[in-house]
Amino acid sequence: MNDETKKNVNENQDKDPVVEAELEGVPEELREEDDISADDGTQGFEARLAELENELAEAKQATLYAHAEAQNIRRRLEKDAQDARAYAATPFARDILSVADNLARAMEAIPEEIRDEEKWKGLITGLQATHRELDTVFGKHGITRIPAKGMPLDPNQHQAMIEIPSDEEEPGTIVQEMQAGYMFKDRLLRAAMVGVAKKPD
């Protein structure tokens, strides 16, 4: 075997026949320009992998936000439904207060001199019994009267209508109740209309 033959054998041993088949017919200068090193390929893969990982993290975060928002909406809807059931009778409760007001006015209008007269006892006893029954029904359904006279003014429950000069009470103390106020469970049904004390001029 001559030197030329040995050289060709050695060159053929270093070449991949599959790669050579694919490159057959491609000019040598193009082979060199299109050749990508292993390092360049690895860097490109790592960059693409990092980009995909960032996109995955953003997608996970968006999913978490959407899940949290859905839970908040569900809780709000549940609370609205509970409130609707709990306070469905609010309009009726507010309307029935006028009945309580008229009954209280009727009892206050009875003159003292006839309260002990036998002929009026039946009427007065009936009014008192009706008033007690109405208070019982109110309590059963969570309607409670707001304390007023002698209490400090609370803007959340009382509506001051007038100021009354007083040496006996501290300024801001309720000294007169013009109309009773009521709570329906933990909500204000109607504010009490009151007169509050002030320092005399």
CA 12 to chain centre: 78
DSSP assignment letter at 29: H
Predicted confidence at residue 30, as pLDDT, reads 45
Structure tokens at 111: 């003159």
Q: What digits encode the pLDDT tens for the residues 163-178?
A: 999 888 899 999 999 9
Calpha distance 63→67 (Å, rounded): 6
Q: For residue 12, what pLDDT band results from cuts at 50, 70 and 90? A: very low
DSSP SS3 for 100: helix
Whole-prediction pTM value?
0.61
Which value, in Å, is the radius of gyration of the alpha carbons in the chain?
45
Average pLDDT estimate for 53-75: 90
Please list the residues that pair with 194 across neighbouring strands.
160, 177
Beta strand residue intervals within the chain, DSSP E: 143-145, 158-165, 174-179, 182-184, 187-190, 192-198
H or E element, residue 38: helix 38-86
